[in-house]
A and B are shown apart, each in its own frame.
Chain A
Amino acid sequence: MKHLLMLLGILTLVFSLSACTFGVDSDSEENITVYTDRHYDTDRDLYDTFEEETGIKVNILSDDADRLINKLENEGEDTPADILVLADAGRLHRAKERDILQSVQSDTLNANIPENYRDVDSEWFGLTRRARVMVYHPDRVDESELSTYEALAGDEWEGRVVTRSSTNIYNQSLIASLIAINGEDETKSFIEGLVSNFARKPSGNDRDQAKAVMKGTGDVAILNTYYMGRMAYSSDEYERDVAETLEVYFPNQETTGTHVNVSGAGVAKHTDNQEGAVRFIEFLSSTQAQESYASANYEYPINPDVSAHELLQGWGTFTTQDLDLSELGVHSETAAIIMDESGWE
């Protein structure tokens, strides 16, 4: 007992002392620190390739987007972060507004990434694309019945629509895009109509919505394209079944285009390795990395020279919203507020 206590005591002391320095950057080798809310196992392979080619070590801190933004804000000038990677342009815009990113001039990035997927002030750069589409059961819904997001507020869809909570950023960005295109008042009436058509109170994530449609709780779901990809290649046989049975529909093809969002990266305002950070983002946008970076999550690549995963290609091409993605961030807060006011839980 006594020996055990002594051992524990020494261990504690040693550990506490070393804990003081754990995590602090060593100056021995060049490195960059990435705060990211995206973390797939295959990403590590890409980082390793980057390390081999450039000799710059990549440190990762992965967490939810908003916590990362908050952390960067609190750390201020002293932050160890060099790069911020976030899913959703709304969040990237929020990061820009909180003054934690900096403007980057890079011909490579401008060449690899189309203009509307870059921040207007070059503070963030889209790296993958995803569309927020409708997924339906062909036995209960005929494709001709579907047209636009706005049409889902109509009476014929009562009790047939499922989607996730309004607190989720993806829905918030979708609504933000509709505010940008249709205006606040029209969007508010749209939401009220949509909410009255919900088959159930929003719960679960995007995949749960697809499963609800499969089960018959609803007939049409709103979700991101990459979840269909994930289910199609899931190790769970029944998820593959869902992906095979349900059909994907790209709304607003005749009108304003399907809502597209990006995941992207920006250089931290108070980085101490600006050059390395820019190189990293350029790497991720390059043809070398894009295919695996985007396909890892069944997303569309941002680089127009790179082709998408074959599953995505199978869905065909589609018209997207003609929108500067910064707008998603601009109207994000308004979107959240009117969703709350209209009872979208």
Chain B
Amino acid sequence: MKIVVCIKQVPEGLDVKVDPETKRIVREGVKSIINPYDLYAIEEGIRLKERFGGQTWVISMGPPQAETAIREAISMGIDNGVLLSDKKFAGSDTLATSYTLSLGIKKIGDVDIIICGRETLDGSTGQVGPGIAVHLGIPYITYVSKIVDIKENKIETIRLMEDHYEVVKTNLPVLITVVKEINQPRIPSLKNMLRAKKIEIPIWNAEMLGGDQSLFGQEGSPTKVIDVWTQEIKKEGRKVEGEPQEMAEEILKELKKLGVL
């Protein structure tokens, strides 16, 4: 079985700091990490190989430094990695990103399962996974919280909806997006860390991917960001301190004011 995990490198943390004068996001000293959701995807990829055998890949589209993310995934236990990188990919929205990744996955070839994270920290759209599946013409299942079984080319999963779980079955090849509940990502092992250090990570550019070159990057991206700003959520709150009795009274008063009681 061939398993491909899609990962993205993102800046660590949510508190993007902005210089109040220049309005610029401060990135100096901010570490890049694997998108937290993608760790669950990587872990599930490794577990599938452990359960059913086969070969695991990670793929990422991004600037050259995204290679570190791929090496991190390999140090967790993924077999191979490939980076899709080209200036032509700059400015990609989710349509262009999913197209580019789908070409990369086709180039890897004969893939049975593609695993994506639920969403990214910076994009947070959750659109790339379903997009890849449509470009590849394969079925997809979102919010998977468990892979029950894979046999005879069929996969059985449990997926999480707002207020219920569902058992969903389909045929391979398939793309799934996974939620945190699915597993607990492992810590890299020394052996794999050494392997990750040495392994060669191929970089595929636009030309090597082929496809319709006008669908890459900004040109292939229908959406356009026209403004960005940071927002600080401030509440005109009040803080109260005192005896439990008084405190309960305060909350009660507030709930009444809010029309709840």
Q: Does A pair with B? A: no
